[in-house]
Amino acid sequence: MTLAERLEANAILDRLVADEPTFSVGDARRLVALLPMRKPRRFTVLVGLGLPGTKTRGQAAGHGEVEMEEPGETKTWSSDPTPVLKIGGYAITHVPGSITIALMWSQTKLDQSGQSCGLLYDTATGEPREMVIARQVAWQVLIFMFATTRYVPWKTPRQDGSAG
């Protein structure tokens, strides 16, 4: 993609993910045309491991006992190592019929709800059908936390020229 195409795609992405109940059909069609497509994968596994933080206690001259806390960190691994297209603050994956739009640092958050969305379109005509947004459901078994992310309906298309 050229710099001009990246800038145009970034502006379109900002408009598509804006807080409105609808999205522009023209923007969606143009984004489908702009973004390069990759081969689809049937199944992807994303594993996150949350490591606990540490606490340090000690004596400080003139202050007495003090405690410092280091935050924990999260390590993630994906079975889909294929690089995604990075445009502005978004990580984009375009497969036939679907464009996934994720915030650049979304995988650093444990809760993936609202961190990514998708634009679904007809592969034959390029006509946008709807936008969906990520919702995470988590459950804990002993010390293990399991989570699944589903995409639920979010926005409907509107013809250009009408207010959102």
For the chain, the structural domain boundaries read 3-37+83-158
Q: How confident is the model at residue 5 (pLDDT cuts 50, 70, 90)?
A: very high
Residue 60 φ/ψ, nearest 5 degrees: -115, 130
* Average of per-residue pLDDT across 98-103: 93
* Average of per-residue pLDDT across 121-139: 92
Total count of residues recorded for the chain: 164
Percent of the chain scoring above 90 in pLDDT: 47
Whether 149 shows a pLDDT value over 70: the answer reads yes
* Average of per-residue pLDDT across 118-127: 94
Question: pLDDT digits over 12-52, tens only?
Answer: 999 999 999 999 999 999 999 999 988 766 666 767 777 77
pLDDT at position 30 is 96
pLDDT at position 154 is 94
Can you read off the two tokens belonging to residue 123? 């592969």
Whether 6 shows a pLDDT value over 90: the answer reads yes
Question: pLDDT digits over 137-148, tens only?
Answer: 888 888 887 888
Rounded CA separation 91/9 (Å): 12
Whether 119 shows a pLDDT value over 90: the answer reads yes
Contact between 18 and 151 under an 8 Å Cβ cutoff? The reply is no
pLDDT at position 164 is 47
| Close Cβ partners of 88 (under 8 Å, ≥ 6 residues apart) | 6, 10, 13, 14
pLDDT at position 92 is 94
Percent of the chain scoring above 70 in pLDDT: 87
pLDDT at position 57 is 87
Q: How confident is the model at residue 80 (pLDDT cuts 50, 70, 90)?
A: low
